[in-house]
Structure 1
Amino acid sequence: MDLKIKGKTALITGGDSGMGLETAKFLAREGVNIVLSDESGGKELDTAVKQVEKDCQFGAKVMGIAADVSKNKQVLALADKVEKEFGGAHIIFHAAGARGAAGDFLELTDEDWMKTIDVDLMGAVRVARAFVPQMQNLKWGRMIMVASENAFQPYVEESPYNACKAAIINLSKCLSRSYSKENILFNVISPAFIETPMTDAMMEEEAEKRNVSEEEAAKQFVKENRPHIAMQRRGRPEEVASTVAFLCSEHASYINGANIRIDGGAVESAF
């Protein structure tokens, strides 16, 4: 399918791995210029850029720019570089985030909460604030933010993360009502237990605790801790990327303010 976005430019935060990287590859095959951004940059970001370059079609270009979304100056600098290099970003896939502090609610401090909020909620706020003006100038825009099943079905040990992901859905809905008349659409995806560095780290910890392989640890973890995942496995990043790419396209021109679950049936409720 031609997504009809050839020649447009996409910024992907958290773009050096997982869902961000796979989405970058998908969009590059559609002829979209790609800016990959991640907190630390370095070899991982360079490697990701080279991987995406292999998928580029129709003259699309790729570049990597390190930026920490918890630092407003860095986000503004990122926006400035994108504008200078490509004239602005038409598409934002904001995949940067962190599990943050986890544990017993009564043991989590203000600092624990604020660190998580600064990345998972305020990171999205900063990116939107920096790039919406570019989309206004381009008279076309798509922004997709990443929430989580945790927004609907919270896990007790992840209260800061749960709260931030619920807030992301509300933020996106608010922005969708503010800018749709300018042909700028905002949507959210809510993945569950996708093969990403975040869940890889969780499975490494589980494997060590259980004294089994990471693959076996993942199977046991799903069975014991994520029983509502009807497909009984972790999702693959490319299964997320295909949905995100569609939301970025001209074909999704009447999808605005929506939240789409990509969770293998993880959320038990129908609503």
Structure 2
Amino acid sequence: MDLGIDNRIALVSGADSGMGKETARLLLEAGVRVAVTDRADGTLDAAVDELSSLGEVIGVTGDVTKPDDVRAIWASVRDRLGDPDIYVNAAGVTGATGDFLDVNDAGWLQTLDINLMGAVRMCREAIPAMRRGGWGRIVLFASEDAVQPYVDELAYCASKAGILSLAKGLSKAYGGDNVLVNTVSPAFIATPMTDKMMRKRADERGETFEAAIHSFLAEERPGMVLKRRGRAEEVAAAVAFLCSERASFINGAGLRVDSGSVFTIAG
């Protein structure tokens, strides 16, 4: 399928691995010129090297919790590629976990700062040029947790519920300028983040990594009827579609990529 976005410019945050990197890959394959950004921890250059054979891709390091970094990220991309007319917000962390009564303010604030306020800061930079150009696509990563919260990760759940509300509000505010804003909500995807979760579970329970995945699915995610972790490229395919001209009448929507994990039909 021709996505109709050849030679568009995209910025993908949280793109050094996992779903962000796979989204960048599919956008490059669609002819998009892509900038990827993540924190300066040494992994972004490797991602750029991996993707460079597919098209024009640059890497820009920065921290979405720091306003000066956010401005610098966008300034660098504009200088090197031009104004992005696609923005994908994949930057995020699990954040503070545990019993609600044991998670302090600092844990809550750090989780919200990265997952929610990071998206706010990046969208604030993205939208003005999209409005001027009369074309824009923004996709924010939410989660199944946004509508089906789990009691041991309530800070994460709240941050992702905030993402749903933010996206809906932005879609109302700027859809009339043809800046379309949507969300994708994955569930239990094979990424470095869930690898870490499963290694911890395996160690705590004295079982293998694969056994930890199977027990987690059975005990914690019974709605995932495919009985496996999702693949990053399966999420990226949904994101790339929402970034495309093929999604020109989709605005303020939330697309679940969750193997049926969420039990409700609403939200």
State the TM-score, normalized to the length of structure 2.
0.97
1:179 is the counterpart of 2:157: no
In 2, Cα distance between equivalents of 1:101 and 1:92: 26
CA displacement 1:180-213 (0-9 Å, x = unmatched): 1111000001110011111111011012122232
Match of 1:98 in 2: 93
For 2:261, which of 234, 249, 266 is the aligned residue? 266
Alignment of structure 1 residues 1-271 onto 2, 5 Å: 1-42=1-42, 44-56=43-55, 61-271=56-266
Q: Quick one: which amino acid aligns to residue 240 of structure 1?
A: V
Aligned residues: 266
Deviation of 1:41 (Å): 4.5
CA displacement 1:204-231 (0-9 Å, x = unmatched): 1012122232122111111111111111
| More displaced stretch, 124-133 vs 212-221 | 212-221
1:51 partner SS: helix
| More displaced stretch, 176-185 vs 128-137 | 128-137
Does the 8 A contact of 1:173 with 1:257 survive in 2? yes
Does the 8 A contact of 1:144 with 1:247 survive in 2? yes
Which ranges of structure 1 fall in alignment gaps of 5 or more residues?
Answer: none
Deviation of 1:70 (Å): 0.7
CA displacement 1:101-129 (0-9 Å, x = unmatched): 01111111111111111001100000000
CA displacement 1:134-181 (0-9 Å, x = unmatched): 212322110000111111110001111111101100000000011111
Deviation of 1:52 (Å): 1.2
In 2, Cα distance between equivalents of 1:207 and 1:28: 36
CA displacement 1:212-269 (0-9 Å, x = unmatched): 3212211111111111111111100000011110000001000000001100000011
In 2, Cα distance between equivalents of 1:205 and 1:108: 19
Q: Quick one: which amino acid aligns to residue 35 of structure 1?
A: A
1:117 partner SS: helix
Which ranges of structure 2 fall in alignment gaps of 5 or more residues?
Answer: none
Does the 8 A contact of 1:88 with 1:138 survive in 2? no
1:142 partner SS: strand
1:121 partner SS: helix
In 1, Cα distance between equivalents of 2:36 and 2:183: 19
Percent pairwise identity: 47
2:153 partner SS: helix
| More displaced stretch, 87-96 vs 134-143 | 134-143
In 1, Cα distance between equivalents of 2:90 and 2:62: 13
CA displacement 1:34-73 (0-9 Å, x = unmatched): 111001252x1111011111222xxxx1000011111111
C-alpha change, 1:41 and 1:139, in structure 2 (3 Å) is: farther
Q: Quick one: which amino acid aligns to residue 37 of structure 2?
A: S
1:190 partner SS: strand
CA displacement 1:4-35 (0-9 Å, x = unmatched): 10101110000010000111111101110111
In 1, Cα distance between equivalents of 2:94 and 2:129: 29
What value does the CA root-mean-square deviation take over the aligned residues?
A: 1.0
